[in-house]
Amino acid sequence: MTLENISTNKSFGGWHKQYSHHSATLNCDMRFAVYLPPQIADGTKVPVLYWLSGLTCTDENFMQKAGAQRIAAELGIAIVAPDTSPRGEDVADDPQGSYDFGKGAGFYVNATQEPWNRHYQMYDYVVNELPTLIESNFPVTEQRAISGHSMGGHGALMIALRNPERYRSVSAFSPISHPITCPWGKKAFTGYLGSDLETWKQYDSCELMKQATGKLPAFVDQGTEDEFLTEQLKPELLEAAAKKNNYPLELRMQEGYDHSYYFIASFIEHHLRFHAGYLK
């Protein structure tokens, strides 16, 4: 698979790079960013944290705003940030132009409904195609962790719960914890997956956590002043699901913090150190 290097920037002794490639899974060209820590210079292979971003975001938001590179360089962890949906002129988009469906809002599911099923296979892309691409082209190990924010927090938790053998740990900021019960989730799942609630449950972290047998260390930060807390995010339901199944989830409610990257930048170091403890 051919990778095209779009940009390269040195950062904390390592390198932030953007690449584009043609995705067979998504049937379009995709872009991702990767931070490679300085440890790779001597031939050392490093583990990878996959970061999934939220609604309207691309690979750039986290890499430019979270301030993760300094700690990743210290810990010797690569970070990979894919886009949040397929892109391109022939990729379907919400005809209403809303921010919470279509381009920029892939929700990390495999769409089954026309026309979305032609391109919107983000679950398979993140779980299979992207790691294969990364591990074939960069000096990284097969040790993986996964994290994300909002829609990406939903994606990280859901993917880890469905694939505990593929990851060492999972964390999230402000995740959409129970998408089958909130407006964002209902809209996306109806459009991408149809009306079958059992299909929806396969992509719902609360439903998956209640039944999980393979259990990964899980860590969630949630701001108390998040404007989406009550209607969309519902972390208390995730905590209840974890308690029901004795799932190793730590949920921290962070007083005064909102949904923004100011919140993520404030606590990203803790998340990286959390993952490092399981990746080494």
21 counts as catalytic: no
**Contacts of residue 241, Cβ cutoff 8 Å, sequence gap at least 6:** 205, 206, 207, 209, 210, 247
Query: What span, in angstroms and rounded, lies between the C-alpha atoms of 184 and 146?
Result: 22
171 counts as catalytic: no
In the chain, the amino acid numbered 204 is D
Cβ neighbours, 10 Å, residue 12: 16
Q: Hey, CA dihedral for 24, 28, 33, 38, is it positive or negative?
A: positive
For residue 90, CA distances in Å to 9, 26, 27, 29, 249 come to 31, 12, 10, 11, 41
Query: What span, in angstroms and rounded, lies between the C-alpha atoms of 78 and 141?
Result: 10
271 counts as catalytic: no
H helix runs in the chain, sequence order: 60-65, 69-75, 122-124, 130-137, 151-162, 183-193, 197-201, 205-211, 235-244, 261-279
Asked if 34 and 17 count as a contact pair (C-beta separation under 8 A), the reply is yes
Token representation of residue 85:
């949906």
Give the active site residue among 16, 178, 259, 275.
259
Give the active site residue among 59, 83, 204, 226.
226
Give the active site residue among 11, 23, 85, 150.
150
Asked if 77 and 276 count as a contact pair (C-beta separation under 8 A), the reply is yes
How many secondary structure helices (H) and strands (E) does the chain include?
A: 10, 9
**Active site residues per annotation:** 150, 226, 259
